[in-house]
């Protein structure tokens, strides 16, 4: 994701996509709470970590062999692009904009304007929430920060991506910074991701996970618990949802066998707008075209204070 100065962010026709129940997250929290002291190994293969009983191990309703849409993601570093900027982006063949709401430390205070102008230009919209694993705020609180930044535009989001990374060292707990990462810290991180997924789904929005293999292994120990949540894979390379092949032993992680989106170009600018962006491709089915079950926040949480490790 594009990094802002004050934040550590990166970050059609609908053919039904299955949304796992929000009870998945509760089951995950119960599971990991009952496994205190049991190591979750950060391993390259998957054979030694069976999927927890009762949790889905596939992504129903998603295929990556069909047509895809080009789009961009951006953060607070993009500022307030104009309607004309977004219209120019659309004319160049891009079909959606994915906007940061929470960067792990601060809200993106441009998020509502970015989303509104993109949507007014006829682009699909989605959002993402960068999870901070060093602060005291749980995953649900951090998602609420993102939703508060999106304001009324949250109701129109195609999905909310839970952004799991390990580049911002000061947003990792001390246990995640160690070599190797501590299993107990990874268990806590898995619980935080579960909280975030549950909060997004509880708000009536689709949840997606943004990550890559090295991030996922360090932060979660390569857990399979979220393999039923659609994957937005950050992997520079061809504009294809089949290349690389996530079924290949050298690429596979987290139990995912396909990906609904790929961030294929990092830290670039589009000639038509000069806005700092990343370029993505997504399956046409990834975006919800409406959110009839969306539940707006009862009130603005007012912003949480986040302390990060030095």
Tell me what pLDDT residue 14 has. 35
Which candidate, 125, 7, 131, 108, places its Cα nearest to that of 72? 125
* pLDDT higher than threshold 60 for residue 183: yes
Task: Quote the DSSP letter at residue 52.
Answer: P
pLDDT-above-70 percentage for the chain: 74
pLDDT per residue as tens digits for the range 29-76: 444 343 333 332 222 222 223 333 333 323 333 333 457 999 999 999
| Omega prior to 48 cis, within 30 of 0 | no
Look at the chain and count its residues.
310
pLDDT per residue as tens digits for the range 5-23: 334 444 533 333 344 444 4
Report the chain's mean pLDDT, rounded to a whole number: 82
pLDDT per residue as tens digits for the range 103-157: 999 999 999 999 999 999 999 999 999 999 999 999 999 999 999 999 999 999 9
* pLDDT higher than threshold 50 for residue 250: yes
Cβ of 66: how many Cβ atoms within 10 Å?
Answer: 11
* pLDDT higher than threshold 60 for residue 229: yes
Report domain extents, the chain.
23-283
* pLDDT higher than threshold 70 for residue 2: no
What superfamily does domain 23-283 belong to in CATH?
Glycosidases (3.20.20.80)
pLDDT per residue as tens digits for the range 210-225: 999 999 999 999 999 9
Looking at the DSSP assignment, which residues form a beta bridge with residue 125? 97
Cβ of 272: how many Cβ atoms within 10 Å?
Answer: 16
Spatial CB neighbours of 11, under 8 Å, sequence gap ≥ 6: 1, 73, 75, 100, 128, 130, 161, 163, 165, 210
- Site of tokens 């990991």: 32
């Amino acid at each position: 994701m594009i990094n802002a100065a004050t934040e550590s962010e990166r970050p059609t026709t609908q053919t039904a996509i299955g949304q796992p129940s929000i009870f998945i997250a509760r089951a995950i929290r119960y599971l990991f709470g009952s496994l205190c002291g049991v190591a979750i190994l950060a391993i390259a293969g998957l054979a030694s970590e069976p999927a927890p009983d009762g949790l889905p191990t596939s992504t129903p309703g998603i295929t990556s062999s069909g047509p895809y849409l080009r789009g961009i993601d951006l953060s607070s570093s993009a500022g307030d692009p104009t309607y004309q900027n977004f219209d120019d982006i659309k004319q160049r063949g891009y079909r959606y904009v994915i906007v940061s709401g929470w960067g792990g430390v601060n809200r993106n205070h441009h998020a509502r304007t970015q989303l509104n102008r993109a949507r007014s230009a006829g682009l699909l919209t989605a959002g993402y929430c960068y999870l901070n694993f060093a602060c005291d705020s749980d995953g649900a609180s951090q998602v609420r920060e993102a939703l508060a930044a999106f304001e009324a535009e949250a109701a129109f989001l195609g999905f909310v991506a839970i952004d799991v990374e390990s580049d911002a060292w000061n947003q990792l707990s001390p246990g995640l910074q160690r070599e190797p990462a501590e299993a107990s810290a990874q268990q806590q991180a898995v619980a935080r991701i579960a909280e975030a997924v549950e909060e997004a789904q509880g708000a009536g929005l689709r949840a997606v996970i943004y990550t890559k293999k090295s991030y996922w292994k360090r932060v979660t120990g390569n857990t399979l618990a979220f393999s039923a949540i659609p994957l937005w894979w950050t992997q520079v390379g061809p504009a294809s949802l089949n290349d690389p092949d996530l079924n290949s032993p050298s690429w596979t992680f987290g139990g995912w066998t396909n990906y609904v989106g790929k961030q294929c170009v990092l830290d670039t600018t589009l000639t038509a707008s000069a806005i700092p962006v990343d370029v993505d491709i997504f399956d046409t089915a990834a975006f919800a075209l409406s959110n009839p079950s969306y539940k707006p926040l009862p009130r603005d949480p007012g912003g949480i204070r986040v302390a990060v490790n030095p």
